[in-house]
Amino acid sequence: MRFLWAAVVLILLPVAPAVSQPASIGVVWTPTGPSETQVQALRTMRDAGLRHVRAAAWPRPEALQAAHTFGLQLYIDLAPPVADPSVLRERLAHPAVRGVGWAGSLTTRGCARWNALRSTLPPSSMRYVVAPVAPAGVACSFDASTTVLADVRMLDRPFARWYQWRAAHAGPVGLAALGPARMLTDGQGWQVPRSMLAQARTLEHLLEQVHTRGVPIAFTAAWSTTSVQGPLRFHIAESDSLLPPGKVVAASTTGPPPPFAWPTGSVSTIARAFPTSTTLAIWGLVLGLMGVFVRLPTARRTVLRYLFTHGFYRASLREGRDATGPTLAALGLLVGGALWSGGQVLVDRATWLRPILLGLEALPPSLQSWVDVGMTHPGFAAAVVTLALGGALLFWTTAVALGLQAVGTPVSWSQVLMMGLLPWWGAPLWAFGAAAPAVGTALPLVLFAIAFAAAAWSALRTAYDLHRTIHPPLSITLGAALCAPGSILLFAVVGIAYSTGVDGRWVLQLLVHA
C-alpha cells in the first residue's frame, strides 16, 4: 500500500519545466593592426563577458595566444585565398580555435572549394558555412555535421530566414551576423529612427528572440570600426569601450537581456533645418526642364523631333539647323544635372539596401575601400561619374569629328555632339524615378539595371544615328560605337571587376537571393 501512495504522490507532484540552454552570444571581429591592438580588443571582449568571437581573418600569433589565456573561443572564417593545408592544420590545432568555416561564395565553384577544404580540417573543430542568402541561392547542400550560420543583417524578418534554413538543413543552424547596417549618432533617443539607441533597442528584441527561439549560436556584427568591412558600419564598441548596443550584447551572454532605460528622445531632433542637396538638385532639374521647354523653342523642337519624328530630326541635324550653341549647352546641363541628382539619390539609398551592401561586401578589399568612399559621399561620387561621362563625351565628339573630316566627310563638331548627347534624353526621367518615394528594394535595383542598359543603348543609338545621318565608313561607325561614353562606362566596370577578381555570379546571387 505504501508503494501505491508513493506512486500517487509522484504523479501528482508538479513537474518542473525543462530549462532550455541559453544561446551562445558572440561578436564578429576583423583582426587588424599590430599585436597589441588585437590583444587589447580581445581583453575588452573578455571584460564584457563575451566568450565567442567570429574572426573574419587569422589573428596574429600573440593575439591567438591571448584569446586562449582570456578563455575566448575563436571561430575563424576562411575565404579565398586559403593558406596552405599544412599551415592551416597547424593553426587549427591551437586550443583557442573552436571552429572554422567558409565565408566565401556559395556558387558551384565556391562549394567545390569548401568541400575540398573540409576534408583537410580536424574532426574536433566545429565546421560552419556563412550563408548571406536564402537556401534557394546556394548551389550546394551541406551534411548534418556542418553548421549553417545565416547572415541576417538588415532583414525585416531575420528569424524567418533562420526558419528557412532550419527547414532546408539537417544540421544546426545559427546566426552569422545580427544587427543593422549603419551606425548613426545623431538623435539622442531610441524613438529617433536609425539612431544608435534605436538600433540598441532593436538589438534587445532580436537577442531576446535568439534565446527564446532556441538559436544555438549567434554573432553580432560587428565589434568596432576596424571590424567593419566595406560600407557596413554598425559596431558595438569604440576605442575599447562598449557603446549602447555593446552593453545590450554583453547583457545577453547568459540569457535574454533586461530592458534598458534608454531615453526616448524625439523625432524632431533629427529634422533638418535646410533642404538637402538632393532636394535642391531635383527642384533645380524641374525648373531646368521648364526653362528649356519654355525659353528655348529650338531645344524643344529638337527633343520632340528626336522622340516622335526621328527622320525629321536626322534631316534637321544633317542640315545643321538645330545644333546651336545655346541648345547644346542647355541640353548638356540638363542631362548632367539629371545624372548627378539621380546618381546621388541612388547611392544614398544603396547604403540602406541589404542586397547591394552584401554584393559590395563580396568585392575584394582593394575595391571595397574605393566603393566605401563613394557611398560615404554620394554627392561627390555622383559628381565624379557625371564629370567623367561629360569629359568622355567631349573627347569622343572631338575624335569622331576629326576622323570624319580626315576622310572627307563634311561635318561640324556641334553636329557630332548633338548625336552623342540626345540618346541620354531619359536621364531626367531616371532621376525623377530615383527620387520617388519607394518601399523596399525593387525600384532602386531596377534603376541601377536601367542605368547600365541605358549606357549600352546610348552607344548603339549614337552609332546608328551617325551612320544614317552622316553616312561615314563602317570602320568609323564601329569605332564610334565602341568608344562612346556609354561603352566606356561598361568596359570600365567589366575591366575593374575582372582585374580585381570579382565573382560576378556570386554578386548576382547576392542581389537576387539576399
Can you give the pLDDT at residue 51?
A: 93
Average pLDDT, the chain: 80
257, part of any domain: no
429, part of any domain: yes
The phi-psi region of residue 194 (left if phi > 0; otherwise alpha if psi is between -120 and 50; otherwise beta) is left
Q: Which domain holds residue 308?
A: 277-513
Q: Name residue, grid cell 569604440.
A: 238
From the list 457, 463, 455, the residue with the least C-alpha distance to 419 is 463
Neighbours of 139 (CB within 10 A): 15
- Please tell me whether residues 231 and 290 are part of one structural domain: no
- Please tell me whether residues 121 and 212 are part of one structural domain: yes
Q: How far, in Å, CA of 404 to CA of 408, rounded?
A: 6
Instruction: Measure the CA angle with vertex 369, ends 364 and 372; round to 5°.
Output: 115
- Please tell me whether residues 285 and 229 are part of one structural domain: no
Can you give the pLDDT at residue 441?
A: 61
CATH (domain of 101):
3.20.20.80
271, part of any domain: no
Domain end position, chosen among 195, 219, 252: 252
Can you give the pLDDT at residue 306?
A: 85
- Please tell me whether residues 244 and 305 are part of one structural domain: no
Report the number of distinct structural domains present in the chain.
2
Q: Are 222 and 30 in contact (CB under 8 A)?
A: yes
- Please tell me whether residues 99 and 183 are part of one structural domain: yes
Domain end position, chosen among 252, 286, 321: 252
- Please tell me whether residues 169 and 282 are part of one structural domain: no
Q: How far, in Å, CA of 72 to CA of 22, rounded?
A: 17
pLDDT tens figures, 216-239: 999 988 887 655 555 556 788 887
pLDDT tens figures, 390-430: 999 999 999 988 988 888 888 888 888 888 898 998 888 88
Percent of the chain with pLDDT over 70: 86
pLDDT > 80? residue 323 = no
φ and ψ at 231, to 5 degrees?
A: -85, 5
8, part of any domain: no
- Residue predicted with more confidence, 253 or 508: 253
242, part of any domain: yes
33, part of any domain: yes
Q: Are 236 and 243 in contact (CB under 8 A)?
A: yes
pLDDT > 60? residue 446 = yes
Domain end position, chosen among 217, 252, 287: 252
pLDDT tens figures, 328-381: 888 888 888 888 888 888 887 777 777 777 777 777 777 777 777 777 788 888
Residues facing residue 73 across a β-bridge:
52
- Please tell me whether residues 365 and 432 are part of one structural domain: yes
- Please tell me whether residues 38 and 129 are part of one structural domain: yes
125, part of any domain: yes
Residues facing residue 117 across a β-bridge:
none
Q: Are 327 and 305 in contact (CB under 8 A)?
A: no
- Please tell me whether residues 58 and 158 are part of one structural domain: yes
- Please tell me whether residues 399 and 494 are part of one structural domain: yes
Instruction: Measure the CA angle with vertex 10, ends 9 and 16; round to 5°.
Output: 125
- Please tell me whether residues 439 and 302 are part of one structural domain: yes
261, part of any domain: no
pLDDT > 50? residue 482 = yes
- Please tell me whether residues 160 and 300 are part of one structural domain: no
